[in-house]
Amino acid sequence: MTRKDHWEQVYSTRLAEKLGWYKPRLETSMSWIAELGLDKGARIIDVGCGASTLVDDLVDAGFESIAVLDISDSALAISKKRLGLQADMVMWLSGDVTSTTLPPDYFELWHDRAALHFLTEPEQQAQYRDSLLKSLRPGGHAIVGAFSSEAPPKCSGLPVRRYEPDQLAELLGSDFEPVRHHKELHVTPGGVEQMYVYCQFRRKND
């Protein structure tokens, strides 16, 4: 089964609200985004968005240039249906972050909660980093949430790579300046505890 097949099966056979990474609202992400003070026209992308409600909150906050990217068409369909008429305000991108070509120096904010840690191979991680570096404009911001070292070694039946803040900084490299980090315990709808680490980075000016 390919990675795409796996995620299509997950989102087509289970309720989004029952999935392990589900949160009704991504409070940390929205708080950090609000503190950035971005213009409402700032170009934002949510990578590996799944059926996350972050896009709903960004629309409600008045942001006008939102893109979401996910490997699962079924996941995107769930969010489109949930947003209703507001779905027309969002750019929906179907694809794998490791191979999708994004416009260069385009986004002011890259957001990812629970996508990077599923990329366990060094080649995949390098492709992720290259996509981030190419598509985020100089001076732009990246917020990445991933399993921390205390989290389980698997999620959704797949192995994950767990991170500490210094390991995320090392992966992204010298083009990115660490701004802050925060650990947060997530309890799945099934009662499993998963510790996440959130890190915020700024892409250095060329």
pLDDT tens-place values along the chain, 206 residues long: 899 999 999 999 989 888 888 888 899 999 999 999 999 999 999 999 999 999 999 999 999 999 999 999 999 999 999 999 999 999 999 999 999 999 999 999 999 999 999 999 999 999 999 999 999 999 999 999 999 999 999 999 999 999 999 999 999 999 999 999 999 999 988 898 999 999 999 999 97
* pTM, to two decimals: 0.96
Domain regions of the chain by residue span: 3-10+40-203
DSSP annotation string for 6-27: HHHHHHHHS-GGGSTT--S--H
Protein fold of 3-10+40-203? Rossmann fold (3.40.50)
Tell me the C-alpha distance between 134 and 127, whole Å: 10
Is 102 within 8 Å of 137 (Cβ atoms)?
A: no
Is 167 within 8 Å of 114 (Cβ atoms)?
A: no
* Helix residue spans in 45-176 (DSSP H): 54-60, 73-83, 122-135, 165-172
Beta strand 176-187 pairing with 43-47: unpaired
3-state helix, strand, coil in the chain (%, to 5): 35, 30, 35
Which amino acid makes up residue 145?
G
